Amino acid sequence: MRSCFRMIKRWDLIIVAILILISFLPIALFSAVQAKTATNPAASRVAVITQDNKVIKKIQLTENKRTYQFVIHSGDGDEDTVEVQKSRIRVKSATCPDQVCVLTGFIDQPGETIVCLPYHLVIEIQSDNEPPQDIIVSS
């Protein structure tokens, strides 16, 4: 055990620290972008489901009160069961081997994504950045 510690040299630590910092870079960039396009909470959120880069479904999440689920088939008996629960969405079950999409759980913030790589399925929450139209000031 002591020989393990002795074999560590200074540049090992430097390199590993640099690499850890690099691995946090995407998160930093992402939150910076998020902060810039500070979405106002009133903006409506849409879940966009794409498969093979084609949009196959758009679901309005704001003001959705229902809970329902549907199945997306992608050939060869591959299925993803998607559940919409009020204003959030998740992949409830999938027949893929790694289950990354299921483990992601519910998403509801703009910019969040669920990715199912084996079936090329992406669910992304987008916000319509149009200013809310319902502010009508009558005098």
Partner 1 sequence: MTKNQRNAYIALLAAQAVIISLFENAIPFPFGIAPGAKLGLANVITCMALYTLATKDTIKVVSLRLILATLLGGTLSTFMYSAAGIVLSFIGMWLVKKLGPDRISLIGVSATGAILHNIGQLIIASWIAQTWTVLLYLPVLSFVGILAGIAIGVMANYLLTHVEKLQYYQKVKETNEKVHGW
Binding region for partner 1 (CB under 8 A): 4, 7-13, 15-16, 19-20, 22-24, 26-27, 30, 50, 53, 98-100, 103, 111-113, 115, 117, 120, 122, 124
Q: 1 or 136: whose CB is closer to partner 1?
A: 1
- Minimum separation from the CB atom of position 116 to partner 1 (A): 9
Q: 9 or 66: whose CB is closer to partner 1?
A: 9
Q: 1 or 137: whose CB is closer to partner 1?
A: 1
- Minimum separation from the CB atom of position 115 to partner 1 (A): 5
Give one DSSP letter per residue of 89-138, joined into a string.
Answer: EEEEEE-SSS-HHHHH--B-STT-EEEETTTTEEEEEEE--SPPTT----
Question: Which phi-psi region, left, alpha or beta, contains residue 65 (left: φ > 0; alpha: ψ -120 to 50)?
Answer: alpha
| SS3 state at 85 | strand
Q: 61 or 101: whose CB is closer to partner 1?
A: 101
How long is the chain?
Answer: 139
H or E element: which one contains 61?
none
The HSE-up count of residue 85 (CA atoms within 13 Å, CB side) is 9
- Minimum separation from the CB atom of position 124 to partner 1 (A): 6
- Minimum separation from the CB atom of position 127 to partner 1 (A): 15
